[in-house]
């Protein structure tokens, strides 16, 4: 990750320690209007400055490649999503009668627990706004984070997934016994990839209509995924689908799909409960092991082709425009 940040913008960690030492009833600083432009993936986002750190509005991140879930306990989960981002409204300028450096509002530690892909982050309250530091978002998601002094622009380019070091901090649920068997199989029989993960080809069907199915295991994050790619001339579709097989901290599974149909290309992403994952259901995988099949790879060869029909039905249901 390329990271070129002036010293004043890199002081977040020091400031955070001071902020939590303050009484929660007292302001820890003030958010002021600024002429510094904060940018995520080439699009400007409204921001304020507090003690040299750029703060953005939590609720507005959903317009920049993230989902926002408010849980029953009031906590908020921010998750990086892949796919087309929604149209954004114009960023409001500094209100009339106010100028650069003028106070927008006092800032207090937020009582709301906020997590970025499973990791609790520092959040602040300013009036009716919840603010988080752009530095924190960069630590979790940046492929590039650059300060341009001439333009007064702080630009964050997002990676497709949270950074590996960040995910190590997340509080994930305990991995099931069945998934541990699959992880062991991938580690022992799979090929190590440049990023440190291991990939195992389960089966491959060639010809004009082809299908490849593989499992990938990342030891750093304990993430197990099934990848299905192929082509169906009958559907005139190429597809590349990735299903998470290990629940994340929210107890859901990520699903990413990229498909091409009649020359058009689109991507879809979402999250579902393990019980809703049609191509590979936990109960069915468990039944295979309970039946006494000794070889994990053999069991995968037997069960995956049966589940491909469900995956194709998922693709068929995707929008065509």
Residue 58 shares a structural domain with residue 98: yes
Picking from 124, 142, 165, the residue at the C-terminal end of a domain is 165
In this prediction, residue 254 carries a pLDDT of: 74
Same domain, 140 and 13: yes
Q: Please determine, for residue 311, whether its predicted confidence score (pLDDT) is greater than 60.
A: no
SS3 for 165-207 is: HHHCCCCCCCCCHHHHHHHHHHHHHCEECCCCCEEEEEEEECC
Same domain, 136 and 229: no
Mean pLDDT (whole number) for 27-41: 94
Calculate the CA dihedral of residues 118, 120, 122, 123 and round it to 10 degrees: 70
Among residues 94, 300, 287, 313, which one has the least CA distance to residue 200?
A: 300
Same domain, 221 and 285: yes
Are 246 and 292 in the same domain? yes
pLDDT in tens, 61-114: 988 988 888 888 899 989 887 655 667 777 888 888 899 999 999 999 999 999
**Does residue 274 have a pLDDT over 70?**
no
Residue 9 contacts residue 53 (beta carbons within 8 Å): yes
Are 152 and 218 found together in one domain? no
Structural domain boundaries enclosing 102: 2-165
Whether residues 48 and 122 share a domain: the answer is yes
Given 165, 185, 217, the domain boundary residue is 165
Position 17 scores a pLDDT of 36
Task: Compare 66 and 301 and report the one with higher pLDDT.
Answer: 66
Instruction: Examine residue 182 and state whether it is found in any structural domain, yes or no.
Output: yes
- Note whether 291 and 194 are same-domain residues: yes
Q: Does one domain contain both 141 and 57?
A: yes
Asked whether residue 182 falls in the same domain as residue 151, the answer is no
The residues facing 257 across adjacent strands are 241, 268
Do residues 90 and 176 both lie within one domain?
Answer: no
Say if 54 falls within a structural domain: yes
**Residues in a beta bridge with 154:** 38, 147
* % of the chain surpassing 70 pLDDT: 68
Distance CA 46, CA 62 (A): 13
| pLDDT score at 299 | 54
Final residue of a structural domain among 132, 165, 198: 165
Q: Are residues 151 and 178 in the same domain?
A: no
Element (H, E) at 129: strand 129-133
Number of domains in the chain: 2
Specify if 212 maps to a domain: yes
Q: Is residue 46 part of a domain?
A: yes
User: How many CA atoms lie less than 13 Å away from 198 in the CB half-sphere?
Assistant: 18
């Amino acid at each position: 990750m390329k990271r070129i940040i002036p010293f004043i913008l890199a002081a977040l960690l020091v400031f955070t320690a001071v902020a939590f030492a303050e009484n929660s009833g007292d302001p820890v600083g003030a958010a002021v209007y600024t002429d510094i432009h904060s940018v995520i993936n080439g699009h400007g986002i409204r921001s304020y400055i507090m003690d040299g750190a750029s703060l953005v509005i939590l609720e507005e991140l959903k317009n920049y490649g993230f989902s926002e879930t408010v849980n029953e306990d009031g906590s908020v989960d921010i998750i990086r999503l892949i796919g087309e981002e929604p149209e954004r409204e114009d960023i409001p300028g500094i209100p009339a009668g106010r100028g650069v450096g003028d106070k927008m509002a006092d800032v207090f530690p937020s009582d709301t627990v906020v997590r970025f892909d499973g990791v609790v982050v520092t959040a602040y309250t300013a009036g009716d706004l919840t603010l988080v530091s752009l530095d924190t978002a960069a630590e979790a998601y940046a492929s590039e984070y650059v300060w341009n002094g001439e333009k007064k622009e702080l630009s964050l380019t997002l990676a497709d997934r949270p950074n590996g070091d960040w995910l190590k901090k997340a509080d994930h649920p305990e991995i099931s016994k069945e998934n541990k068997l699959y992880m062991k199989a991938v580690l022992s029989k799979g090929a190590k990839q440049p990023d440190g993960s291991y990939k195992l080809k389960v089966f491959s069907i060639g010809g004009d209509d082809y299908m490849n199915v593989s499992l990938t295991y990342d030891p750093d994050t304990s993430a197990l995924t099934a990848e299905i790619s192929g082509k169906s001339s009958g559907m005139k579709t190429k597809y590349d689908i990735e299903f998470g097989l290990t629940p994340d901290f929210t107890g859901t599974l990520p699903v990413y799909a990229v498909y091409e149909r009649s020359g058009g290309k689109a991507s879809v992403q979402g999250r579902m409960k393990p019980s809703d994952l049609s191509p590979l259901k936990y109960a069915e995988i468990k039944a295979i092991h309970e039946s006494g099949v000794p070889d994990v790879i053999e069991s995968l060869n037997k069960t995956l082709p049966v589940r491909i029909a469900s995956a194709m039905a998922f693709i068929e249901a995707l929008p065509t425009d």
